[in-house]
Amino acid sequence: MSSPASRPVPPAAASTLNLRGAVDLSSLKQRPAPPAGGGTSPGTTAGPGSSADTGTSDAGTRQLRVDVTEGNFQELVELSAQVPVVFALWAAYSPESTHVLDTLERLVESYAGRLVLAAADIDAFPQLAQAFQVQAVPTAVAVLKGQPVPLFQGSADEVQVRGLLDELLKVAAANGVNGSLGGGAPEAAGPAPLPPLHQAAFEAIEAGDYEAAAAAYRQALLEMPADAEAKAGLAQVELMARLQSLSAQDSEALRTLAADEPDNLEAQLRIADVDVAGGHVEDALNRLVSFIGRNFGPERETARVRLLELFDVVGATDPRVAKARQGLARVLF
């Protein structure tokens, strides 16, 4: 599956998790393995059967916590076709890193091998931080079938993190990732199945048929207009469809046009799409708020509607959306 999405996912917005492809991991996957060695995450030590490799423990089960290196990164990405791999990006200078790593390790263990935790020191592996577009540490990003799924940045309490991991497993199941590596404490029950129309939408996304996915979400909204997940899903697959045929060269040309012609509605809308998909959410929302503030009539309304759709894509609880809503209110009233 490609593209963001796939669905762009805001931090701490479990209800909108889905696969996304804005982050390109291919260059990291093809990097040559370095000599043996590398750092370990806070509170861990490397050694036989430790979490510093992806081998088996003395009990014969795969390790559920791994310290990421350039040498094992590709294996971890490949493992994400079997179970979701939760990358925890940390740094020694961040006092919150140890707390977040401890919380993630404890929770990952509780899922009995259905998740793997990959702890990555961004000082030892700066390319990974760049690939994941990390703006702060600690940051948690899952990888599912080779596609990144942003989870949260900064501190998060255990209840919030478990909610995100539960949602991640629902998305994994919808995309055919139901493996287990064994080990850990038993989980009482697996993730709840998706509603039929949501399942149909996920399957259509997997097949690259965004039109069919949108149709499934529209039908879900006809049957239940208050279905927030269907509303977000529809906004996201429509974004994916708009970006499907847009090449990197086209994007650069559009960006130049948008800079030269700030009141060109089509250029501003398309670059806002590109920026949301690429993780530059604040830039995208600010672009449309500014356009709305400068223009009136039908073009203003078109931009306002698109902005509201992008709010659904990013997630209502995202602080960048809250800030953009305040900006929109100021320019409208």
Q: What is the pLDDT of residues 259-271, one digit of tens each?
A: 999 999 999 999 9
Most confident of 66-70, 100-104, 316-320: 100-104
Considering only 34-38, 98-102, 329-333, which range has the smallest mean pLDDT? 34-38
Assigned CATH for 248-332? 1.25.40
Residue 275, judged by CB atoms within 10 A of its CB (0-12, 13-18, 19+), counts as buried
Domain boundaries, the chain: 14-174, 203-243, 248-332
Termini Cα distance of the chain: 41
pLDDT at 53: 43
Task: Give how far Cα 262 sits from Cα of 258, 266, 289, 301, 303, Å.
Answer: 5, 10, 12, 16, 13
Higher pLDDT, 69 or 293: 293
The pLDDT, as a whole number, for residue 258 is 93
Q: Match 């996957």 to its residue by tokens.
A: 29
Mean pLDDT throughout 115-140? Answer: 88
* Digit-coded pLDDT (tens) for 187-208: 444 455 778 999 999 899 888 8
Radius of gyration of the chain (CA): 20
| 42: confidence class by pLDDT, cuts 50, 70, 90 | low
Report pLDDT for 192.
Answer: 57
**Predicted TM-score of the model (pTM):** 0.48
pLDDT of 323 above 50 = yes
pLDDT at 26: 44
Asked whether residue 272 carries a pLDDT value surpassing 50, the answer given is yes
d(CA 121, CA 134): 12
pLDDT tens sequence across 10-41: 333 333 344 433 334 444 444 333 333 344 45
Position 329 pLDDT exceeds 90? yes
CA-CA distance, 306 to 333, in Å (whole number)? 18
- Residue 191 has a pLDDT of 52
**Bridge partner list, 87:** 118, 141
Mean pLDDT, rounded, for 237-266: 90
Q: Distance between alpha carbon 18 and the CA centroid of its chain, in Å?
A: 7
Confidence class for position 250, pLDDT limits 50, 70, 90? confident
* The pLDDT of residue 314: 86
As a whole number, the mean pLDDT across the chain is 78
Residue-wise pLDDT tens digits, 296-319: 999 999 999 999 999 988 887 788
Distance CA 206, CA 227 (A): 22
Percentage with pLDDT > 70 across the chain? 78
The CATH code of the domain at 14-174 is 3.40.30.10
Q: Is the dihedral of CA 78, 51, 95, 121 positive or negative?
A: negative
pLDDT score of 221 more than 90? yes
User: Which among 209, 269, 271, 218 is positioned nearest to 244, based on CA atoms?
Assistant: 209
**CA neighbor of 28 nearest in space, from 86, 82, 77:** 77
pLDDT reported for residue 135: 83
Position 60 pLDDT exceeds 80: no
Per-residue pLDDT at 264: 95
